Amino acid sequence: MSSISYSAHLKPDPWLRIIVLTAGRLTFAAGMVLILTIDIAALLRGFAALLWLGCAKFELTRLQRGFSSCTAIRVHFDGRIEVRNPDGQWCSGVLMGGSLLLRKFAWLRLRPAAGPPVSELIAGNIREDHDWRRLQVIWRHVGASP
């Protein structure tokens, strides 16, 4: 295989998306409980709770829009990123700060050229999945570049 065609093709897992959304909802619920139990004036608690609720709605909506706008991710050998939208079209993207690749999991934060930002939790097994292995190699190669 030539290095020009070397890329990792990743498909988001619907169950991992459910886990991420559930974790987000639980985190915001826990924050709301914490805010409502703080020993401060009721007016300040109410304002903080409304602010927290607004932030939660904004973040969860943004996360959901990103999920619905991404059906696949392609990472090329030179670090280029492409995101496939629901229409099947590939558009270029940028890997954002906060992305992380571990042995079995990756948290990818992407900004496609068109559409909302995408945050995806991806799982893989280096022994069974060739694309996951390619992603590991590409990540090390691009990360080592100056």
> How many Å apart are CA 96 and CA 119, to the nearest integer?
10
Q: Provide the whole-model pTM.
A: 0.84
What are the tens digits of pLDDT across the range 53-96? 999 999 999 999 999 999 999 999 888 999 999 999 999 999 99
Percentage with pLDDT > 90 across the chain: 82
Q: What's the mean pLDDT when you consider all of the chain?
A: 91
Torsion, Cα of 134, 139, 141, 144 (10° steps): -170
Rg (C-alpha) for the chain, rounded Å, is 19
Whether the pLDDT of residue 132 is over 50: the answer is yes
Classify strands 100-101 and 105-112 as parallel, antiparallel or unpaired. Answer: antiparallel
Q: Predicted confidence band at 51 (pLDDT cuts at 50, 70, 90)?
A: very high
pLDDT of residue 3: 47
Confirm if 124 and 72 have CB atoms less than 8 A apart.
no
Whether the pLDDT of residue 10 is over 90: the answer is yes
Cα–Cα nearest to 11, from 60, 58, 73, 53: 73
